[in-house]
């Protein structure tokens, strides 16, 4: 059997291949909705890159090392360290949440769901665990094209928001789930709330590939138009124009509404708006 050190050497040798794999995973997307390390970020394919947990290590040492590995996106190794703690101490809600995040990042949705349910059972008021369980159901909805799973995701986000009603990521996540169910009005309302609590959230999630998470090109284009509208209403001209251009590039079919939607009334007076609309950026093929 190959050692973990040898696996590490293979990983370095095949780094070019993994870059391609990572780009492919980014196009599939996992929501990146928050800077909080206990929420979600895109990770690499699962591969052992660290030594296994030392049998004599303390719980504190194991968790510290697990957190370091998770920060390095070595999710498979981090999960091993957290599992060692669970074997020693039984585990806490916070620890189960961390394991759930690692499993979700490796796209092991069934395992992620089970462990996050344990976190919520340990602490029903753990808002981040509820949010992350919602992300699992959202991912299952994308994978299975299941409106039922999107509904489950929304219920988890509802519970998280009831506990912590000023977390931008929760509203943004719920907005994505509403969009996936074609409930665009509620989705737009949640996106507006997300912006209220975090003015930079759409810029960050855009860079993280959130649009690629939405079920169809039409949904992505509509999302970008809605974000442009929200920024326009907030007076964020540069950002509004940026997302308006993206909506046009992604083929938003109702772009003519920009001339009648009240949110764009001030933007329509900006010369850059006229230039953008005259340029008519061509749709970018999928």
Q: Which residues contact 115 (CB under 8 A, 6 or more apart)?
A: 96, 99, 100, 103
pLDDT of 265: 96
In degrees and rounded to multiples of 5, residue 122 shows phi and psi of -65, -40
Q: Residue 228 pLDDT > 60, yes or no? A: yes
Q: In angstroms, rounded to a whole number, what is the distance separating the alpha carbons of residues 248 and 139? A: 27
pLDDT band at 218 (very low <50, low <70, confident <90, very high): confident
pLDDT of 210: 42
Q: Calculate mean pLDDT across residues 65-91.
A: 95
If you search the block for the tokens 């764009």, which residue do you land on? 264
pLDDT of 45: 56
C-beta of residue 206 within 8 angstroms of C-beta of residue 173: no
Q: Residue 7 pLDDT > 50, yes or no? A: no
Q: What is the rounded average pLDDT for all residues in the chain?
A: 84
Q: Calculate mean pLDDT across residues 7-27.
A: 40
pLDDT band at 80 (very low <50, low <70, confident <90, very high): very high
Q: Which residues contact 15 (CB under 8 A, 6 or more apart)?
A: none
131 closest CA partner among 109, 107, 153, 110: 153
pLDDT band at 205 (very low <50, low <70, confident <90, very high): low
């Amino acid at each position: 059997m190959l050692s973990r050190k040898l696996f590490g050497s293979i990983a370095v040798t095949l780094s070019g291949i993994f870059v391609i794999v990572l780009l492919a995973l980014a196009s599939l997307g996992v929501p990146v909705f928050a800077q909080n390390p206990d929420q979600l970020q895109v990770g690499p394919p699962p591969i052992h890159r660290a030594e296994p947990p030392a049998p004599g290590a303390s719980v504190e040492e194991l968790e510290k090392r697990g957190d370091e590995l998770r920060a390095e996106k070595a999710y498979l190794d981090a999960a091993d360290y957290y599992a060692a703690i669970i074997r020693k101490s039984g585990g806490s809600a916070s620890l189960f949440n961390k394991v759930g995040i690692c499993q979700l990042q490796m796209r092991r949705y069934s395992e992620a769901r089970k462990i996050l349910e344990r976190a919520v059972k340990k602490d029903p008021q753990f808002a981040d665990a509820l949010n992350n369980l919602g992300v699992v159901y959202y991912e299952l909805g994308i994978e299975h094209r299941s409106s039922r799973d999107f509904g489950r995701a929304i219920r988890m986000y509802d519970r998280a928001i009831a506990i912590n009603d000023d977390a931008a990521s929760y509203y943004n996540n719920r907005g994505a789930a509403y969009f996936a169910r074609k409930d665009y009005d509620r989705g737009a309302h949640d996106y507006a709330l997300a912006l209220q609590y975090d003015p930079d959230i759409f810029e960050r999630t855009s860079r993280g590939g959130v649009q690629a998470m939405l079920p169809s090109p039409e949904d992505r284009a509509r999302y970008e138009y809605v974000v442009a509208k929200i920024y326009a209403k907030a007076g964020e001209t540069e950002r509004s124009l940026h997302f308006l251009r993206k909506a046009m590039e992604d083929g938003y079919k109702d772009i003519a509404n920009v001339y009648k939607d009240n949110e764009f009334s001030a933007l329509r007076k900006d010369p850059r708006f006229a230039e953008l609309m005259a340029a008519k950026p061509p749709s970018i093929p999928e």
